[in-house]
Amino acid sequence: NNNNNNNNNNNNNNKISLRQKVMRRLFNCNDPQIISKCYIEPPFNCDYGNNIELSPNVYMNFGCCILDCAKVKIGAQTLFAPNVQVYAATHPILAPDRLLGELAKPISIGENCWIGGNVTIVPGVKIGHNTTIGAGAIVVKDIPDDVVAVGNPAKVVKQLK
C-alpha cells in the first residue's frame, strides 16, 4: 500500500513537471515563481502563447481561449471561471479591408480579479485591480479598479471601495 502511494506521488510530480514544462515553452516564461504558481485546466486554447504575460497565482478554469495576437497581461491572483474568452484579435469592419490581414489591440487584466464564467473580453480593454466581472458579461470598454461589472455590454453595478 505504501508502494502505491509512492507511485501515485511520482505520477503526480511527473504530471506537474510536464505541465510546467509545457507552460514555460508556450508562454516563453522561465520564471519559476510564475510557472509553478499558475494553473490552467485543459482544454486551453491560444493563438501564440508568447504574447500572454502571466503573473503568479493565475488560475484559468476549463475552456479558456485567449487570442493573443497582441499582448494580453493577466495580473497576480486573478481567477478565470470556465469558458472565459479573451480576444486581442480584431478585424476591419469593411470586407475589402479584412483581406489586408488581422489586427490586434492589447488587453490588460489587473491583479486580484475574478472573471466569471463565459465572460468575453474584447480587443483593447483594460480591467482594473480587485475587480469582478459577472458571468456572461461582454467587456467592451475599460472597467476601473475595485468594482463589480455585469451584463452585455458590461457595466459597473457596484463599487467595492
Residue pair 47/68 in contact (Cβ under 8 Å)? The answer is yes
Residue pair 119/100 in contact (Cβ under 8 Å)? The answer is no
Pairwise CA distance, residues 131 & 121, whole Å: 14
Q: Which three cell numbers stand for residue 89?
A: 484579435
- The pairing of strands 103-104 and 120-121 is unpaired
Residue 91 falls in the annotated catalytic set: yes
Residue pair 139/155 in contact (Cβ under 8 Å)? The answer is no
Of 37, 71, 73, 91, the catalytic one is 91
Minimal CA–CA distance to 121: which of 75, 82, 81, 85?
A: 85
Under 8 Å CB-to-CB from 134, ≥6 apart: which residues? 116, 119, 148, 149, 150, 151, 154, 157
Active site residues: 91
